[in-house]
Amino acid sequence: MRYFAILVILIFVVTCEVSQTNSWRSRIVSKTQHPISSLLGSCPTDLNVLIIDGKRFERVRGAKQFYLPVRGTNAIFFVIDEPNYSVTYHFFDMTTDTDIAIPSKSSTFGRTIGLPGCNESVCVTNDCRVLLQNVEAGGGSVSPELATLDRMKSSWVLDLRARKVISQKTLYFDKSGKLLRDYDETLGPSE
């Protein structure tokens, strides 16, 4: 009887730990399609597709799975490349089946989602803001002020209620960690 009780407790704990992920796997399909129309063009391209509860999203950035789970929530985050070269950030709440789309004129975020060693992260604050961050190492630049560039750290703040990008900032560092340049997309480079 004692062994049975331990087994029941173990099954309960394991089920609680993986239930969120398992339910996502049955609700989310990630695939890459090879459209015939792209084969006829001069530059064939694959089409990354994410389907969540029957809702289809095309031109998703990254590699399969194409999304990041948002820590502390039952939500996922992904980025879509739009036909006009802009992007749309998507915060998809898996509990309410609600997609919050936030357009942006440009972004480097989302390109390494799904790749080994993904350098991108996402989290949500208590005031309904999404914080995105990516770190790119081993950089180089032809700009004289960035001649010793070693890495860039980019961050974005998105407001879920207003459905807009609040800030987009990139910091440029040399190998010693010295800040070479601070660039705020809305303000321009700092002096």
Encode pLDDT of 143-185 as tens digits. Answer: 778 888 889 999 999 999 999 999 999 999 988 999 998 888 8
CA gap 171, 109 in Å, rounded? 14
**Global pTM value:** 0.79
Q: How many domains does the chain have?
A: 1
- The residue range of the domain holding 88 is 2-189
Burial label for 173, CB within 10 Å (0-12, 13-18, 19+), is buried
At 111-125, the pLDDT tens digits run: 999 999 889 999 999
